[in-house]
Each structure stands twice: as C-alpha cells, then as structure tokens.
Amino acid sequence: MENLTLHKVRISVLWLFSEIAFLGTIILTFTKPGVIEQIIAEEMEGMRIGQEFLLLYAIIILFPLVMAFLSLTLKDSINRWANIIVGIVGVVLSLVGLSENLAQPYAYSILMWISKIVVDALIVWYAYKWPKKEA
C-alpha cells in the first residue's frame, strides 16, 4: 500500500511541476520585446485574444492542477489510464509549444518546453508502470 501511495504522490508532484513549467514559460514570455504591446492590443502573434482564447488557456492551465488532485484520489485502474491519456496529450501539446518557439528561439523557452516534455513523458511512464496491488 505504501508503494502505491508513493507512486500517486510522485505522479501528482510531476503534474504540479508540469504546471509550473508552463506558467513559468508564459510569465517569461512577457519579457520578449513587443509582447506586452500585443496583449494590450488584444492580439498575440496574429491571433485575437478574445474570450474563446482565454477560455482555452484557462482549460489548459487547469488540466495539470486537476490531474494532480485526481492522481491522489481516483481508483487505481482509472487513475492509470487517465494519467497515460492526459500525459500523452501533455507531451503532444508541449511538442507543439516547443516547435512554435523554434522559429524565434529563446534559450529559456526551449529549456522550459523540453523540461515540460520530459516531465509529461515521466507521468506517462510512471502511469504505465503502475504498481500491482499488494495483498
């Protein structure tokens, strides 16, 4: 039982790391020249910053937080598959984020996106290696 609890905590902490890496990337992006002006103009890299855009970002921001909680509370079989599926989605979205930042590379951005990819992949790995129930 202790091994399973430790496993759940490990995955939950990885979700929190993933969230902080994503938020850190967003915050550091504000230091890029012209970004603040784009936000004030309600446009970012050619996309209008409207309610739909903000709702999408809110959902993306909430997902790792919800998964951190669910990783501690869901039943084992559901927990395992939820972490595998959402973790794979996280890896894919992080790869997209990294690829979008390679056009105008900033070292901090590449570091943060690679860190997020590694952490999201670790979530998938730990979920895949979910411990068997102890008797």
Question: Predicted confidence band at 1 (pLDDT cuts at 50, 70, 90)?
Answer: low
Inter-residue contact 21 to 115 (CB < 8 Å) = yes
Tokens linked to 1: 């039982």
Averaged confidence pLDDT in the chain: 91
pLDDT: which is higher, 109 or 2? 109
**Per-domain residue ranges for the chain?**
2-128
The mean pLDDT value for 41-68 works out to 90
**pTM, 2 dp:** 0.88
Residues 78-122: tens digit of each pLDDT:
999 999 999 999 999 999 989 988 887 889 999 999 999 999 999
Q: How far apart are CA 121 and CA 119, in angstroms?
A: 5
